[in-house]
Structure 1
Amino acid sequence: MGNIIKGQDVAQTLLISNCQRVSDGVKPRLAVIRVGNHPSEISYERSVIKKLVPLGIDCVSYVYDQNIEQEAFDTAFDQINHDSSVHSILLLKPLPKHLSLDHVIQTIDSLKDVDCIGMVNMAKIYQEGPKGFLPCTAEAVLKIVSYAGIELKGKSIVMVGFGMVIGRPLTLLLLEAGSTVTVCNEYTKDLKAESSRADVLIVATGVIHLINEEHVKKDAVVIDVGINVNDKGRLVGDVNFEDVLEKAASVTPVPGGVGTVTTYVLATHVFEAYEQQK
């Protein structure tokens, strides 16, 4: 049976660093923007507030009706973006289908863009050299890989999922680190054959239990980025955790895995954003 990589263990270094910032009297403000009542967004919002407020971060929630019109949403976002008392912005996704992110992507202040949704910070991922804020979840995965003692250079990595938030930026960061990366999705013809070659298997599709034991190479490290709500109202991942744990060297659980690390990466970004704006 493999090891369980607990997010709280991975996040300890970040937690210690952020506690030091609190002792220095730093008091940044994070605006959390949510449209509608998507269960996974509400769960993440609660987790963010629960973990960040004790660190001394002032979390202010801005919640808008599911049916808010584009113009009203863009205007509300502009007010938050231009508010000098707000040092960082977290926009919870997905937005309702009738809303476009175009205005947000083009206008968000890069110093407040702590989850890398804007074009300025995202463009830096595609370029060599210094980066802006990385997407929190992508950075969390890299910290988990480091915690597991994996040298990325030369490793065979399969990334299942190629979304703008996780899959695409993470693939580029892994390639930059010298890994050989194969990108798949839930529609890949022979996903088992592809995924079972991976030294590190990263899954971010939003498909409940897409990955089972037969998809995994023996002694691989499996990182489950999926956050889904099943028909019993429980949070579950894209990986069948109990099944895969029998074969893999290490697996991240859901909840308590990537999401926990992501929250503390976010906290680090919020403090850094505040310090850059002082």
Structure 2
Amino acid sequence: MTIERFTDETLMAYADGELDAETARAVAAAEAADGAVARRIALFHGTRAALSEARDARPAPEVPDALVARVRETLEQAGAGGEEPGRVVPLVRRAPSRPWVPVAVAASLALAVGLGAGLSLRPATGPDIDLATGPQPGATGLAALEASGVAGALSRLASGGSEQVAAGEVTIIASFRTPEGTLCREFELATGSAETVAVACAEGAAWDLRFAVASGRADGAGYAPAGALEALDTWLSGIGAGAPLPEDEERAALGRLAE
């Protein structure tokens, strides 16, 4: 049996109940026959549910005007098929394997807002990730950086370094500073079933989670959402993230945290 392939936009529309009846039936058939398609749809359902819960649970905090303007500008460029070179500072030199999806940019804004309000999120492709104890049924998502050992890894490891902590394996991708001079670090957390890309920033001697998005399954069998890394890059551009710190500057910055 030949399984029809669908774009991410179509699957997102299916998860939102916005497809016409004929296309919805075709997607439903593919979902039943193809586990990869089913996982992708489950991810979009989970993201929608998480953001819906966040809206219901608390009033939305004020979003910085610069971030809103940058996201809006990026979406307009995407709709026109244009892309202004050099707008985004890529922390990680990863070439996207697919065209980025504008919806992912909007999702990144929502995720950043949620985290700013204290929202805990979880990848929809696997069990909840509690950074204090690892994957747990009923856990509250990305939380407790300090208790989990993730904060310690953020304070110690140089970019490129990895360390096993209670929640899984942490890999530091890069360090950068915000326009205000705050030290931030991009990292990946791989659990037994999922991967999360995140950014945390130093708040005194502690670390504050600023951005997080599920990027796929750690075993490589799952689906990495198109646009996840592009959404991160757009968010970084929106907050005015600086270029990755050179090794010596990063080492000095981490040393000052320990003082």
Normalized against structure 1, the TM-score is what? 0.28
Normalized against structure 2, the TM-score is what? 0.29
